[in-house]
A and B are shown apart, each in its own frame.
Chain A
Amino acid sequence: MRVAIIDYGSGNLRSATKAFERAAREASIEAEIDLTDRPERVASADRVVLPGVGAYADCRRGLDAAGGMTEALREAIELGGRPFLGICVGMQLMSSRGLEKTVTAGLDWIPGDVVPMQPGDPALKIPQIGWNTLTLHREHPLFSGIPTGDGGLHAYFVHSYHLQAENPDDVVATVDYGGPTTAFVARDNKAGAQFHPEKSQMLGLALITNFLRWKP
């Protein structure tokens, strides 16, 4: 199996690559982790990961600048039905629109807008930086065997915006940051984490392993 991690000039991709390699190795899954900026490698991959840090509009621009990458994603994911995982801004790009700085169109896989977080408690800082637990709203194969809730494992977040999904069923998990904040979305063969699985130690490695085994 070949897992394409899309390299479109967005931040720290080494950790993501290393985390996927480690998860595959520890679970004895035969997987080639292919960090690539070539659309044809993405179009033909067995699984696709879209990382992303920075601003929504910049990431969208980066994706569009990698000639044919958006089309490759549509081919592999929308037509091919292969498993997709978006991470942080990569997850936010699954939305219809991003409202950070300017209005930017997303991939429109999860209807909804990416909006500024407005925690109910004014003492809470923006960005949310650090470790928080998750509230699971429905079962999902990527959370198989992962303890969530108050006594559950922690995920590492760094974000100022979150995806406000129109369809509550698309929201698999939320994080409490002065109110429920979208932490994980999924629909069909597409999933996205607002937190960083590649930085989230036990929870992260378990989730990545589940992704490598996922048969949506």
Chain B
Amino acid sequence: MTLKARVIPCLDVKDGRVVKGVSFVNLVDAGDPVESAKAYDAAGADELCFLDITASSDNRDTIFDVVARTAEHCFMPLTVGGGVRAIADIRKLLLAGADKVSINSAAVKDPDFVAEAADKFGNQCIVVSIDSKKVSKEGEEDRWEIFTHGGRQATGIDAVAFAEKMVERGAGELLLTSMDRDGQKGGYDIALTRTIADRVPVPVIASGGVGNLDHLVEGIRDGHATAVLAASIFHFGTYTVGEAKRYMADHGIAMRLD
């Protein structure tokens, strides 16, 4: 008896519709988020994640409707992120039916926002989403830097130090996305995942780069993540969530197969 590793399908949502970008460009419209959520619920997903990728501009309120409709139909834990900048945003998402809210650029801009959010709603519902790229050269010690604006803007902030700081401020979980790997299908940045997972006391979700089921196994076994997030391999039907979980169980990872 032990806590099971989680498989979390992630749906990128824009204007209330599902999209998946390759390294966050070339978006392809691929469906209704609520229908996808129901399908993942039925398939045994351990959690679901919505990232509202256009939350910063128009049609911001569409996500609240998507979350509310999803919560009507799905009895699975739901994390929602994208454009979360104010306490009021978090409250609205939680009231709509989100269980956890992920904070990304607002945490970079103002780390105290994370502290305020954690104080208000509890650490357990505050996920800090960290987008980083490897910036060290060949032969140098590994170093990763935080990037914002969908990976286009460097910040000069060290990803490992930032992760530790976010946990101090009250993040209950970290969602680590490697922007180099995202959409490339070559696997997670295992060194990044393990470096941070081994340093922080909170759970870490590995994200960015899954192309096959071995990558999921590596995220948990080698990256020391407690959950693995993937989008396109599930979304385009390459593998089902059930296949992924059975594969991971066959490779020695404790999974929920109810």
Q: Is B77 an interface position by the 8 A CB rule? A: yes
- Cα distance, A11 to B125, chains bound together (Å): 9
In the assembled complex, how far is the CB of residue A179 from the closest CB belonging to chain B, in whole angstroms? 11
Residues of B within 8 A of A22 (CB): 75
| B124 in contact with A130 (CB, 8 Å) | no
| B226 in contact with A130 (CB, 8 Å) | yes
Q: Is A105 an interface position by the 8 A CB rule? A: no
Q: Which of B96-104, B137-145, B230-238 contacts A (4 or more CB under 8 A)?
A: B96-104
Residues of B within 8 A of A192 (CB): none
| B96 in contact with A129 (CB, 8 Å) | no
- Cα distance, A80 to B227, chains bound together (Å): 44
Given the known inter-chain contacts A19-B75, A198-B75, please indicate yes or no for A160 contacting B1, CB distance below 8 A: no
Q: Is A25 an interface position by the 8 A CB rule? A: no
> Nearest B residue to A204 by beta-carbon distance?
B75
Residues of A within 8 A of B68 (CB): 14
- Cα distance, A129 to B215, chains bound together (Å): 22
Q: Which of B2-10, B107-115, B186-194 contacts A (4 or more CB under 8 A)?
A: B2-10
- Cα distance, A159 to B203, chains bound together (Å): 12
- Cα distance, A207 to B80, chains bound together (Å): 27
| B124 in contact with A202 (CB, 8 Å) | no
- Total cross-chain contacts (CB, 8 A): 120
Select the residue from A18, A129, A154, A177 with max chain B CB neighbours within 10 A.
A129
Given the known inter-chain contacts A130-B46, A199-B99, please indicate yes or no for A11 contacting B3, CB distance below 8 A: no
Q: Is B173 an interface position by the 8 A CB rule? A: yes
Q: Which of A161-210 contact B (CB under 8 A)?
A: 175-177, 196, 198-205
Name B203's contact: one of A13, A127, A196 (CB within 8 Å).
A127
- Cα distance, A159 to B227, chains bound together (Å): 16
In the assembled complex, how far is the CB of residue B195 from the closest CB belonging to chain A, in whole angstroms? 15
Q: Which of A40-48, A69-77, A107-115, A131-139 contacts B (4 or more CB under 8 A)?
A: A131-139
| A15 in contact with B71 (CB, 8 Å) | yes
Residues of A within 8 A of B173 (CB): 127, 129
| B226 in contact with A129 (CB, 8 Å) | yes
Residues of B within 8 A of A66 (CB): none
Q: Is A55 an interface position by the 8 A CB rule? A: yes
Q: Which of A34-87 contact B (CB under 8 A)?
A: 53-55, 58
Residues of A within 8 A of B172 (CB): 127, 129, 158, 160
Q: Is A29 an interface position by the 8 A CB rule? A: no
> Nearest B residue to A158 by beta-carbon distance?
B124
- Cα distance, A203 to B75, chains bound together (Å): 11
**Interface, chain B (partner A; CB < 8 A):** 1-6, 46-47, 68, 71-72, 75-77, 94-100, 119-125, 172-173, 201-204, 226-227, 256, 258
Which 3 A-B pairs rank lowest in CB-CB distance, beginning with the nearest? A54-B122, A14-B97, A131-B256
